[in-house]
Structure formats: C-alpha cells, structure tokens
Amino acid sequence: MTRILDIAFKDLLQLTRDFKTFMFLLLMPVLFTFLFGYAFGGFSGPSDSRLPVGYLDQDDTWLSHALRDELADSDVIRLDENPNRTYPDLELLVANGDLAAVIIVPDRYGATFLKGKNARLIIIADTSTTAWTTIEAEVMATISRLDSAVRTATILEEIDAERMPFEYAFEQSLEAWEEPPIAVVETTSSAVEASDASSGALAHTSPGMMLQFAIAGLLTSAQVIVTERKSRTLQRLLTTAARRFDILLGHYLAIFTLIFSQFMVLIAFGQFILKVNYLRVPQATLLVAFCAALCISAMGLLIGVLARSEEQAITFSLIPMFLLSGLGGAWVPLEVTGETFAKIGHLSPVAWAMDGFKNISIRGLGFESVLLPAAALAGYAVVFFLLAVWRLSAAEEK
C-alpha cells in the first residue's frame, strides 16, 4: 500500500507543477461553459413568447378601453401600443414581420357595439400564417366575452336598474370570466423545479464541458507514464518488489485524485455561479462524479500504457475527447438527435455521465435514477483498467 501511495504522490507533484494542467482542468471548462452557454441562450433573460400585436384605439371609449384591458391580459398576444404610429406605419411593421398583426378600433366602435349592431374591428395581418389563426381565435374569444358581459349587464339593468346598474353588472360579468366553471390547469410534479431555457442550456453545457476537458486533461497524465518509460524509470520499478498491479494502481490513484478534484471544483462553480442545480440530490451527483472520475482515470491509464511517445499521447487523448464528447452528447443533447443516434451515443461513457448529471439537475429525478449511469461508468472503468494491466504485461513480455 505504501508503494501505491508513494507513486501516486510522486505523480501528483509532477502534474500540479505544470501550469497547463491547471489551464486544461479548470480554466478551459469554465471558459467553454460560458461560450457554449451563451451560444445556446444560457445567459439570456426570460423572454416573452407571446405574439406581438399592435393596437390603435381611435374610439377612445370605456368599451374600447375594456377591450384593450382584456387583450393586454392575454397569454397568447402581447400588445404593442404607440399612438404616434399611422396606418401606413402599422402596415409596414406587419409586412416586415415586426408585428404579427395590428388591431385598430375604429371611431364609434363602442356605440355600435352597445346598440347590438355589427361592430367591426380593423385587423392588419398575413392570414396565411399560423400566427394569424392563433390571433384570430384569441380576438374572437375576447370579443365574445365582451358581448356576453354587455348582454348580461343590459338584462340585469332592465330587471333592477337601482340594485344592478349597467356598469356594475358589466364589470361583474367580466370578472366571472376570469374563473370559468371549467378550466384546464397545468401542474408540474413537486420533484421538478420550474426552469427556463437559459438555465436548461447551462445545465447541459456545464457537465458537458466538465467531462470533455477531463478527457482532454488525460494528455498530461498520460505523458507522465510516457516520460517514465522513456527515462526507463518504469522498467526499473518493474525490477523491484513492486508488482505491475501496484504500479498501475499508483498511477491510477493520482489521475483519479486530480480528475475528481476537478469535478468537485467545477460542480461547485456550476452550483453557486451558474445556478445549475447539482446539489438538489447531492449524494446522487457525488456518485455520478465519483464513477465518472473512475472511468476517465482508467481511460487515462490505458492511454499512458499504449502511448510510446508524447505525440502518441496527444493523439490518443485528443481523439477520444472529440469522439466520445461529440458522440456522448456533451455538445448537443442526445434527446434532439433522434432515437437511433441516442442509442449509438450511449456507447460512449460520456453519455451515461451526462444522463446521471442531467437526471438530477434538469429532469428532477431521484437518487435511483443515477444508479444505472453510475453502474455503466464503473463497468467502463473496470474494462479500461484491465486492458491497461493486460497491455502493460504484454508489452513487458516482448
């Protein structure tokens, strides 16, 4: 055990002296998380998804004001009002796509409406678009509510004008529409916290860049073993009482310590700076980080054993970084790539690590949701480590 710890301590001293290691393992993931997060809207504020609709009131009566208030409270359209705009200005804004439509309330609209005659709004829109269909349905529903409120108020005033004057009955009728007898209510599980597109983007790019640059950082770790081989330090170690397994385990422990420490720092950065909810189930995030570090460290050990030169170490480190990261969904979520590609992507251990982190930070799942990803990562770690042991034994027998 002492030999294993001595080798690990020696490797850690050698790795931490190199400033490039710090750059790769900490600064680069942070910079690329900001870069990708910005590209995918991770730093944009919450946006208003309602359709922009211009509104010009030429009637200026209490009924046109009531129509405006009802439309302003819509969940579908967003009123864009500017009394200085002329009719040609509004037509141009619709033609250029700056407004989805324009609603113009003509003069004497309210008086005509109250007489029970056909009161017509002027609407400028491209009727061939789906946006117009949505706007038309919303405007028609609003006018229907106003018409119902006017008719109800008229009837009540005729029955008892003293106790139920028109204005009061009209307001009460409109308020009744705010709580209809039948309503569709959308609910979200209490386990899932509400999130917007920006937080979702960062919750993907943060673990993605963390995993990508952990693999890239294997370049330095692999070069330590390459340097030992070139200086014949490894061969001298093999002639001592230290077993091959102990030597590899010492190197492995050093790489694991470095990568796991990187994960802890970047998870803390993601949690407290980027507001990615890693610590919603802290023990689950810790398990995924631990197993991912086991896997990537074993991969680094295998690269170090396979590489015979610094050039090979660079190639063997960078190719897995790009291949496994791209295939495993570190750049683009596998959910949007289709079922076939998602299945192929899970040949990469990065995909399993991404699943584990996102099950906690985005999908709102519990501890049991990370057990399968953690088991898959641990399985990859065993395979990579055994291949490294076999490759070292085969190489030394030649």
Q: Which domains does the chain have, with CATH numbers?
A: 2-44+198-397 (no CATH), 51-178 (3.40.190)
pLDDT band for 54, please (50, 70, 90 cuts). very high
CB atoms within 10 A of CB 220: 20
Q: Write out the two tokens for 239.
A: 């002639």
CA R_g for the chain:
33
Provide the pLDDT for residue 278: 94
Whether residue 199 is predicted with pLDDT greater than 80 in this model: the reply is no
3-state secondary structure of 143: helix
> Which is it for strands 51-57 and 77-81: parallel, antiparallel or unpaired?
parallel
- What CA–CA distance (Å, rounded) separates 394 from 252? 19
Task: Judge whether 374 and 288 are in contact, CB under 8 Å.
Answer: yes
Q: Which of 265, 274, 260 is nearest to 362 (CA)?
A: 274
Q: Write out the two tokens for 210.
A: 């963390």
Provide the pLDDT for residue 39: 65
- What CA–CA distance (Å, rounded) separates 385 from 98? 59
Whether residue 41 is predicted with pLDDT greater than 70 in this model: the reply is no
pLDDT band for 186, please (50, 70, 90 cuts). low
Q: How far apart are the first and last CA of the chain?
A: 28
Whether residue 142 is predicted with pLDDT greater than 80 in this model: the reply is yes
Query: What is the share, in percent, of the chain residues with pLDDT greater than 70?
Result: 85
Whether residue 204 is predicted with pLDDT greater than 80 in this model: the reply is yes
- What CA–CA distance (Å, rounded) separates 145 from 166? 16
Does 168 or 186 have the greater pLDDT score? 168
Provide the pLDDT for residue 324: 94
Does 125 or 6 have the greater pLDDT score? 125
- What CA–CA distance (Å, rounded) separates 55 from 90? 9
Provide the pLDDT for residue 174: 75
Residues in the chain: 398
User: What contacts 24+ positions apart, CB below 8 Å, involve 339-348?
Assistant: 348/323, 348/324
pLDDT band for 192, please (50, 70, 90 cuts). very low
**What is this structure's pTM?**
0.66
Task: Judge whether 63 and 106 are in contact, CB under 8 Å.
Answer: no
Does 196 or 40 have the greater pLDDT score? 40
Provide the pLDDT for residue 226: 80
Whether residue 40 is predicted with pLDDT greater than 70 in this model: the reply is no
pLDDT band for 314, please (50, 70, 90 cuts). confident
Q: What is the mean pLDDT of residues 23-29?
A: 74
pLDDT tens, residue by residue, 74-112: 888 999 988 888 888 999 999 998 999 999 999 988 888
Provide the pLDDT for residue 149: 84
Whether residue 285 is predicted with pLDDT greater than 90 in this model: the reply is yes
